[in-house]
């Protein structure tokens, strides 16, 4: 009952001034303050049991794009699952899964920073209704990536796709495959799809792809993710089936050479802010509107991914989206400060500012697990947390974490909650499970934040878990809550 009570407080938003939004479909939350807890009794034993156990992967492999629409009515949803819930149990030790996840996370962050340093056309129109997909989470192998199951081609072949809010390309591994990593479903064969159509070199769609080329009259693409991962192949127009909704003529990459940290998935579903992402290609039909909820680790339930303006919730706390011309794929928000135990940490607001040159800023990213903060902000934040947890026994540093605790002898502990002070007034307060994570099965927990090797701040998926995140691209806002998952 204690856990249920605190899960009901998973998302606490305190609004100061009322925000004004031009769209009547996305009303802001009320302007009055909502009381929120400064401290929480964190259930140590239950968290270890939930987050470190291995579940039957077949429970998640049965999910398909065909079983969701009837249950959700007109709001189409798809299951969002964490890739660790697929049938790959080669890492049965939680500590090893954790270490592997952190190594991938370091590469992910380095990749994002590299893209910003390197600075790295029109939109298709589709008649589609509001639709979506369910999101499933887990931590069994520790990849930090969330998957959605959709149909590719005609007839539709169900495939798991990594969702990535920081990428703009939709791609799948394709036959003939000269170099492919292992995926849980058969590799897509375009020869078996009646709707597959290669894109010509002269097409305007080809011009919208960076690093595009031409071979035998067909548009070629190549995408490198900066961490050694890449996909290379042919650009095509194909039908995607999301729930019971068919979306025709989606530009996708048909990858014949692929390498990287996508094991288990058939490819990647880019949800970034660029014109070639799925959100960008749907364009005015959805108004750039989508919503996701990353299910909390250790649960058997699924999260959700939905598209369309009707999925934007009433009662969310809305903050402006900021644009960085150097990185149009990324979703930036304003952050003015951090809090511990209900008290604001003394950090200069400029530390989080997105400059006119495109430096710094705060990015919401589904592909990064651990939130990164500029070193000065992280140190002040961490030190304040240490003061408030001085009564808890410390443990040695683990991986990227320098603040860890030995909670093996505790059933519950009293810990401070932490908060993000967002520009415009909202305060997003997180429960302990969103920043104290078990790194082994013995009771070692670490403060799940890390210093950024640059001025860029990244709010990762551990901190986003359990919170409904919505994007209103047409009006330039992002919303937190009010629902939890």
Structure-block tokens of residue 8: 């009901």
Residue 31: exposed, middle, or buried by beta-carbon count in 10 A (0-12, 13-18, 19+)? exposed
Closest by alpha carbon to 469, among 329, 359, 350, 311? 311
Closest by alpha carbon to 185, among 216, 154, 218, 151? 151
Query: Is 468 strand, coil or helix?
Result: strand
Residue 416: CB atoms within 10 A of its CB come to: 21
Q: Measure CA of the first residue to CA of the last residue in the chain; give whole Å.
A: 17
> How far is 46 from 411, CA to CA, in rounded Å?
8
The set of residues, in sequence order, having a beta carbon less than 8 Å from that of 104 and lying 6+ positions away, is 142, 143, 144, 227, 261
Residues, the chain, total?
485
Closest by alpha carbon to 389, among 428, 409, 418, 347? 418
Sign of CA dihedral 229, 233, 234, 237: negative
Query: Is 99 strand, coil or helix?
Result: helix
Task: Cite the active site residues.
Answer: 164, 365
SS (H, E, C) 171-223: EEEECCCCECCCECCCCECHHHCCCCEECECCCHHHHCCCCCEEECCEEEEEE
> How far is 204 from 327, CA to CA, in rounded Å?
22
Closest by alpha carbon to 224, among 209, 236, 208, 214? 209
Tell me which residue has tokens 């909820």. Answer: 293
């Amino acid at each position: 009952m204690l856990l249920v009570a605190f899960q009901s407080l998973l998302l606490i938003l305190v609004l100061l001034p009322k925000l004004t939004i031009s769209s009547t479909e996305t009303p802001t939350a009320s302007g009055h303050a909502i009381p929120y807890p400064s401290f929480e009794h964190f259930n140590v034993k239950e968290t270890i049991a939930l987050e470190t156990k291995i579940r039957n992967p077949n429970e998640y492999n049965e999910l398909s794009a065909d079983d969701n629409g009837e249950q959700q009515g007109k709001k189409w949803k798809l299951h969002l699952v964490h890739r660790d819930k697929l049938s790959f149990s080669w890492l049965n030790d939680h500590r090893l899964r954790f270490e592997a996840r952190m190594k991938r996370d370091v590469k992910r962050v380095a990749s994002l920073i590299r893209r910003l340093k390197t600075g790295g056309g029109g939109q298709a129109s589709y008649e589609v209704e509001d639709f979506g997909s369910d999101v499933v989470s887990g931590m069994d192998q520790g990849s930090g990536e969330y998957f959605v199951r959709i149909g590719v081609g005609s007839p539709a072949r169900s495939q798991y796709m990594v969702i990535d809010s920081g990428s703009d390309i939709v791609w799948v591994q394709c036959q003939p495959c000269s170099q492919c990593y292992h995926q849980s479903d058969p590799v897509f064969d375009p020869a078996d799809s009646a709707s597959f159509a290669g894109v010509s070199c002269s097409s305007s769609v080809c011009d919208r792809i960076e690093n595009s080329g031409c071979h035998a009259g067909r548009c070629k693409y190549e995408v490198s993710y900066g961490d050694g991962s890449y996909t290379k192949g042919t650009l095509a127009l194909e039908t995607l089936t999301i729930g019971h909704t068919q979306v025709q003529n989606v530009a996708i990459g048909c990858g014949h050479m692929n390498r990287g940290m996508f094991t288990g998935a058939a490819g990647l579903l880019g949800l970034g802010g660029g014109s070639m992402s799925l959100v960008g290609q749907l364009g005015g039909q959805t108004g750039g509107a989508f919503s996701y909820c990353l299910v909390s680790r250790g649960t058997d339930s699924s999260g959700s991914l939905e598209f369309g303006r009707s999925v934007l919730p009433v009662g969310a706390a809305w903050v402006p989206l900021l644009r960085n011309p150097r990185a149009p794929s990324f979703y930036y928000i304003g952050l003015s400060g951090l809090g511990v135990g209900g008290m604001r940490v003394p950090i200069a607001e400029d530390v989080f500012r997105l400059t006119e040159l495109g430096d710094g800023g705060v990015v919401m990213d589904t592909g990064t697990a651990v939130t990164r903060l500029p070193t000065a902000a992280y140190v002040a934040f961490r030190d304040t947390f240490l003061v408030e947890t001085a009564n808890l026994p410390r443990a040695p540093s683990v991986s990227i974490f320098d603040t860890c605790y030995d909670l093996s002898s505790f059933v519950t502990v009293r810990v401070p909650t932490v908060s993000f002070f967002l520009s415009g007034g909202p305060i997003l307060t997180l429960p302990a499970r969103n920043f104290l994570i078990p790194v082994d099965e013995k009771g070692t927990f670490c403060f799940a934040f890390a210093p950024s090797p640059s001025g860029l701040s990244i709010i990762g998926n551990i901190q986003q878990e359990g919170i409904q995140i919505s994007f209103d691209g047409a009006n330039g806002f992002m919303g937190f809550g009010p629902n939890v998952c």
